[in-house]
Structure 1
Amino acid sequence: GFSQGCMISIQTGLKRNDKINSIIGYSGKIISTEHLSKNIKSRPKVILMHGDKDEVVPIESFLEAKEFFLNNNYSIETKMFKNCEHRIPQEGSSLGLKFIKKNLY
């Protein structure tokens, strides 16, 4: 998911009773780490990507999400794009596709 879609993907993906394989998150954040920590039911593989110049969802949100996943022992990959605002750069699309191929096929 991108932006709010990323936030929804994380919130719903980790709280599902039925397991999902992966979450690809672009330019999002975790809305409430405390609430989410208490309600984890699923452990999908996660990749988070974010632009370092994002003013809509600041880069600190990416760093907080990364820390959350590491502290909760998730398999996570991350990528911060240099000079990138609130968008998905072409490299981000390519990395997302590679992540899907690696984890679903």
Structure 2
Amino acid sequence: MAKLSGPMLAPASGGVPKSIIVLLHGYGADGSDLIDLGRHWGPTFPDALFVAPNGPRPCGQNPYGFEWFPLSVDRIAGRIEGARTAAPVIKDFLADLCTQTGLSAADTFLVGFSQGAMMALHVGTSMDKALAGIVSFSGAFVPADGFETEDFARPPVAIIHGDLDQVVDPQLSRDAAEVLAAKGFDVGLHISKGVAHGIAPDGLDFATSFMLAQQV
């Protein structure tokens, strides 16, 4: 199984990490694309270790970037198969982080953008132990095998999307919130007005408030 690696930021406090915030980039990007979220959040979460791994394979459409799974002509089928294939690599990475830090899933946030958000939702809703929370920016929910029948953990979820996104349909986030809420997840949905495929200040503030609320 491939091993993930990418940029990391030690806790701003200079101390031992008390939480882990994993940042999963979008298609064709790399860990450096999201590690700036760690710089933004560092003062707010001074005891957090920020980790932004590169996807497990070079991007088929951008040789300088990475992907969690390849794009397919059939986007729905491609997401299902791609997420299923990439999930074990991310779960293995999370397990390694917990072993190295002595922390647990309950101390870990999984944050993703676009394809990374699809993976964050897919992985975070198919684990036996609940994460501290999942944050999905401009993503979609691809249920894991057994989602409807298995007794997976139900971590809190924040879903954020721009209403003018032409890359990933914002309706996919609305659908994700509805499906997860019906399954008993605590879900917060925020639609950023006038925003395309990106992370707007109001969406970032929503995510920050959500993460702070899980640490009370």
Partner amino acid for 1:12? V
Q: Is residue 2:211 matched to residue 1:100?
A: yes
Q: Which residue of 1 aligns with 2:183?
A: 72
Pick the aligned partner of 2:135 from 19, 24, 27.
24
Question: Over residues 13-70 of structure 1, what are the superposed CA-to-partner deviations in whole Å (9 max), with x where a residue is unaligned?
Answer: 1111222121111100012477533445110001101011101110120121011112
Matches within 5 A, 1:17-96: 17-32=128-143, 36-39=147-150, 41-96=152-207
Kindly state the Cα deviation for residue 79 of structure 1 after the two structures are TM-superposed.
Answer: 0.6
The secondary structure found in structure 2 opposite 1:36 is coil
- TM-score, length-scaled by structure 2: 0.45
Partner amino acid for 2:148? S
Partner amino acid for 1:43? R
Total equivalences in the alignment: 105
Residues of 2 paired with 1:32 and 1:14: CA distance?
8
Q: Decide whether aligned partners of structure 1 residues 55 and 40 sit closer, same or farther in structure 2, where only a CA change above 3 A counts.
A: farther
The secondary structure found in structure 1 opposite 2:136 is strand
Q: Decide whether aligned partners of structure 1 residues 77 and 19 sit closer, same or farther in structure 2, where only a CA change above 3 A counts.
A: same
CA RMSD of aligned residues (A): 1.7
Give 5+ residue unaligned stretches, structure 2: 1-111
Checking the alignment, whether the CA contact within 8 Å between 1:14 and 1:40 is kept in structure 2 is: no
Give 5+ residue unaligned stretches, structure 1: none
- TM-score, length-scaled by structure 1: 0.89
Residues of 2 paired with 1:33 and 1:65: CA distance?
13
Checking the alignment, whether the CA contact within 8 Å between 2:174 and 2:189 is kept in structure 1 is: no
